[in-house]
Amino acid sequence: MTKIATAPIGRFDEALLKKLSLEHSAEQQLWLSGFLYGLATAGQSEAAAPPPQQAQTQVVQVLYGSQTGNSKKVAQRTVALIREQGWEATATDLAEYAVKNLKNAKVVFFVVSTQGEGTPPTAAEAFYEWLHSARAPQLPDLQFAVCSLGDSSYLRFCQTGKDIDARLEALGASRLAPRADCDIDFEETADTWAATVVNRLKTTTGAYSAASVKLSAPASPHYAAGFNRKKPFSAPVLEKIKLNGRGSVKETYHLELGLEGSGLVYEPGDSLGIWAQNPDRLVGQVLAATKFSGSEQVEFEGAPTDLATVLKKHKELSVLHRNVLEQYGAQTEHSAAINAVVTDHERLKKYLWGRNAGDLLREFPSGLTPQQLTDILRPIAPRLYSIASSLAAHPEEAHLTVSALRYEFGRTSREGLASVFLADRKEVGDSIGVFIERNEYFKLPADDSTDLILIGPGTGVAPFRAFVEERNERRDASLSKQGRNWLFFGNPNFTTDFLYQREWLQYLKSGALDRLDVAFSRDQPEKIYVQHRLLERSRQLFDRLENGANCYICGDKNHMAPGVQQAFLQIIARESGKGEVYAAEYLSNLKKQRRYLEDVY
């Protein structure tokens, strides 16, 4: 037995020393002795010499509010860039930020997204409300900059970021750099903003001196791949099946795409980006309205290209956006008429619905050159579809559930760009340009024992097919306790529109799906939707929420999602017995805890 030499230490410390010496190897003991010796000699050195003068270092805070994770990505990239220059920096979710700290902060950068028509992301709601309340303090010592993410197809583009930027200025804070408003293709604008704020940091006081150690933010290897939004992978169509029965008012397709050799990986909840092309018919309508042949040469991405190719492959023709309308008015003789539309919110909203580029050119004919037309039109944006498969169940594949969008505008038929591109012009053996778009928060819980409540009518069921497949694979591979999966699905008719019916019934039989509630709205005189089924299961749902269940909603944002939220408010108020105010706070807390998650469109 090893003997402990007598030393001038107390009984408690002697016991600790015995534990350290008897339970560690000789190598570990040697390291420990050197460590303790270093502490002792460092203390003697410090006592012998006065402490050196060190530059004061402040931490630059980057606060982000994100719904899908894009703002978080920008915040992390900004932090990495700041650290590369030698400053200390942190990235913090606004949902976790203590607002009282803002009063004493010196430099804070905000990266925040906007949902739909000007709504803050769930994570930023509480901060946004506090900042615009009477409780927000004056901030004369704060320097700030805002990077706002949004979608210019919405009238209140980047509104959350604009509001935060204006409010900080009103509270006396100083703008370190101009606000950046990023569209769907946000990377380049966001990177330019980050470089700008770092350069501005260099001109501030010495209080932000470089730290001695430079740090860098690690990249996520799980999502690293050579293919991305700017360099899509050409994925072959392996399978294409129409899911609706004969006579259905719906037109829904199940597509299976091959990812072999791509290196692309995803998790349930992520989306697949699709690069679609305009139909020849629509290109022809635009050319007819302009009286161009299509063979005219224009400069596109630094190279001469014929106009027809640019219109077909690169320019958004199927929908109109406000910025296109504004630019068109500014460069034509119709500026007064178009400005009257653009400046009237309700009139603009009504005008944009259903119209395409051909309509604009016919209603307001002009003498634009082919190059001017090319420069005014907005680039085609990729369409994102929730992935309807699990890689664990389908290695090197990604499945989609796509509803072909067809509608009437006046006396003419219209169609969705990507959905009809997939429905009408892509068959087995064809290839499609794709990339993975990560959804940071719409994810399975880390704890497999967590119960799930999945609400996905129509094609909103797509990510939940992936969720259940993934959990079924984990269930087969693990002996640990698995949470229950409860699915609510809705569509017009049982006989023609029960998407993936056979799979759901098999999962019910095996236990991978605990419960299944369906709402087929047209099968009875009164229309029944998923929110009605939720109310019918009021007690059971509340019990599961109280037991820690996560709730996920995917699908229509205009009617279904608000209806589902209202149903949950009623359920919580009724089953808790504490009323509407308590229910609103309860649901708000579920959102803050990321237990009530939406992926709506």
Question: Residue length, the chain?
Answer: 601
pLDDT greater at residue 366 or residue 487: 487
3 state DSSP class of 13 = helix
User: pLDDT at residue 40 above 60?
Assistant: no
Q: What is the pLDDT of residue 295?
A: 97
Q: Domain residues of the chain, as ranges?
A: 59-218, 233-276+382-437, 280-376, 452-600
Q: What is the pLDDT of residue 116?
A: 74
> What is the distance between the alpha carbons of residues 21 and 4, in angstroms, rounded to a whole number?
8
Percent above pLDDT 70 for the chain: 86
Q: How does pLDDT run across 57-89, given as a tens digit for each residue?
A: 568 999 999 887 889 999 999 999 999 888 899
Least confident of 118-127, 449-458, 461-470, 480-489: 118-127
Long-range contacts from 282-285, C-beta under 8 angstroms, 24+ separation? 282/317, 282/318, 282/356, 282/357, 282/358, 283/308, 283/311, 283/312, 283/317, 285/356, 285/358
> How much is the average pLDDT of 172-187?
92
Sequence-ordered alpha helix ranges (H) in 410-477: 417-425, 462-477
Any idea what DSSP says for residue 101? G
User: pLDDT at residue 318 above 80?
Assistant: yes
Q: What is the pLDDT of residue 45?
A: 36
Fold type of domain 280-376: NADPH-cytochrome p450 Reductase; Chain A, domain 3 (1.20.990)
Could you tell me the CATH superfamily of domain 59-218? Flavodoxin domain (3.40.50.360)
Q: What is the pLDDT of residue 204?
A: 66
Q: How does pLDDT run across 246-278, given as a tens digit for each residue?
A: 999 999 999 999 999 999 999 999 999 999 999
Tokens of 152: 């210019």
Q: What is the pLDDT of residue 479?
A: 57
Any idea what DSSP says for residue 56? -
Percent above pLDDT 90 for the chain: 73
* CATH number belonging to the domain at 233-276+382-437, selected among 3.30.9.10, 3.40.50.2300, 1.10.357.10, 2.40.30.10: 2.40.30.10
Q: How does pLDDT run across 208-219, given as a tens digit for each residue?
A: 443 332 333 333
Q: What is the pLDDT of residue 151?
A: 84
Q: 579: how many CB neighbours lie within 10 A of its CB?
A: 11
> What is the distance between the alpha carbons of residues 56 and 106, in angstroms, rounded to a whole number?
13
Q: How does pLDDT run across 410-430, given as a tens digit for each residue?
A: 888 999 999 999 999 999 999
Q: What is the pLDDT of residue 134?
A: 94
Domain with residues 452-600, CATH architecture? 3-Layer(aba) Sandwich (3.40)
Among 169, 144, 163, which residue's Cα sits nearest to residue 61?
144
Q: What is the mean pLDDT of the chain?
A: 87
Are both 59-218 and 452-600 of the same fold? yes
Q: How does pLDDT run across 531-583, given as a tens digit for each residue?
A: 999 999 999 999 999 999 999 999 998 899 999 999 999 999 999 999 999 99
> How much is the average pLDDT of 168-187?
93
Q: What is the pLDDT of residue 57?
A: 54
Q: What is the pLDDT of residue 156?
A: 85
> How much is the average pLDDT of 157-174?
95
Residue 302 identity (one-letter amino acid): G
Q: 512: how many CB neighbours lie within 10 A of its CB?
A: 21
